[in-house]
Amino acid sequence: MNNFTYRNPTKILFGKGQIENLATEIPANSKVLMLYGGGSIKKNGIYEQVKTALADFTVLEFGGIPANPEYSVLLDALKIIKEEKIDYLLAVGGGSVIDGTKFLSAAALHEGETPWNILTDKKPITKGLPFATVLTLPATGSEMNSGSVITRAETQEKLAFGGPGMFPVFSILDPEVIKSIPQRQLANGIADAFTHVMEQYMTYPIGALLQDRFAESIMQTLVEVAPAIMKDPTDYQAASNFMWSCTMALNGLIQQGVPGDWAVHMMGHELTAMYGIDHARTLAILAGNHYRYNFETKKEKLAQYAERVWNVTEGSLEDKANAGIEKTDEFFKSLGIDIKLSDYTKDYEGTGSNVAKRFTERGWEGLGEHKSLKPSDAQKIIEMSY
């Protein structure tokens, strides 16, 4: 096990009816900016619940944060925060709204030339305007971590930032929101959370036995509840386990003391940028082939995963490892997710070399847990995924 430093101060209020507690969690007399996305919260009742809970507060609103939180849109919100002297931000939404709110939290207190520097400086953000979240779409874990990804259409950039000042003060997780989420987004959420775990787990073995078992626990739980969630999102037991699993998948706990891979995400971001494919679906397209391509360095963990998550008991280590990859592909397909690039676009020829070129032009340092994968390796993995 590697050395690690871990701290996660976010308070979680989990369960039915927790939105009511907003008024006691946000300091009295706060001037609140409520941030949300495309307006689904006005259809599923969450908007009303939040407004009712905050009846005694001054609440301004900023809706329309898009699925990949866009810098220019966020600058409009920043203007309101400064002009109206907002002192508390409340994200009501999924990962994009929360990530956008993290950016605004940092930008409100940013002293540099332009808030874009938050994304380019590569410095951990240690302070921000206090913010909280009401999670409406389980998937990204952003409700209990300190990371964020922001998109800037103007320059075709998608950059990450974060730091100890970027944890939500509190997050409300009410699994009852899940019943109003469309099937497509439920499938994406399951696949996204599952892949988050894989990125932190499917590396070379490092003897972090408990972290391995926790990672396997999250994957087992997602596998167990996925059919119930997809069949009946009003199933509260399935919904609550799905929601808590998504949070635990990327709140920092399982990554302590272990290497991370994240190559699937790095390649997947490019497919989203090029073809607009849903983030989670790009992961499903690439994951299996990433493991096939890097079989030798990952086969011990792949076999352990096959045994423990999928109950594969027969065959050699290599047989089990291969079975683990097949099971992963099948799992994504069971969610109704296509796992070939050609299922999403007819113009897939040349995607591998185009992504490799984009990586090369950015002066790429290498992908994967050893940072050893070159752009040419990414090209081959993507070509395997046509």
Residues near a copy of itself, by CB under 8 A: 1-18, 170, 207-210, 213-214, 216-218, 220-221, 224-225, 237, 240-241, 244-245, 248, 253, 256-257
Cross-strand partners of 72: none
Residues 16, 75: Cα–Cα separation, whole Å: 34
| CB 213 to a copy of itself: min, Å | 3
Amino acid, single-letter form, for residue 239: A
| CB 15 to a copy of itself: min, Å | 3
- Whether 136 and 94 have beta carbons less than 8 Å apart is answered as yes
| CB 206 to a copy of itself: min, Å | 9
Which helix H or strand E contains 360, and what residues bound it? helix 351-361
Residues 12, 143: Cα–Cα separation, whole Å: 9
| CB 258 to a copy of itself: min, Å | 11
Q: Which is nearer to a copy of itself, 9 or 315 (CB)?
A: 9
Q: Which is nearer to a copy of itself, 7 or 43 (CB)?
A: 7
Q: Report in angstroms the alpha-carbon separations of 116 from 104, 106, 141.
A: 11, 11, 24
| CB 339 to a copy of itself: min, Å | 26
Q: Which is nearer to a copy of itself, 32 or 226 (CB)?
A: 226
Q: Which is nearer to a copy of itself, 243 or 325 (CB)?
A: 243
Q: Which is nearer to a copy of itself, 13 or 335 (CB)?
A: 13
Task: Dig out the tokens for 224 from the structure.
Answer: 């167990």
| CB 241 to a copy of itself: min, Å | 5
Exposed, middle or buried, 55 (CB in 10 Å: 0-12/13-18/19+)?
A: exposed
Q: Which is nearer to a copy of itself, 20 or 338 (CB)?
A: 20
Residues shown for the chain: 386
Contacts of 61 (CB under 8 A, 6+ apart): 33, 34, 35, 36
| CB 368 to a copy of itself: min, Å | 23
Q: Which is nearer to a copy of itself, 12 or 303 (CB)?
A: 12
Amino acid, single-letter form, for residue 383: E
Contacts of 232 (CB under 8 A, 6+ apart): 238
- Whether 89 and 32 have beta carbons less than 8 Å apart is answered as yes
Q: Which is nearer to a copy of itself, 224 or 318 (CB)?
A: 224
| CB 382 to a copy of itself: min, Å | 33
How many Cα atoms sit within 13 Å of 315 on the Cβ side? Answer: 14
Residues 190, 203: Cα–Cα separation, whole Å: 21
Residues 238, 346: Cα–Cα separation, whole Å: 37
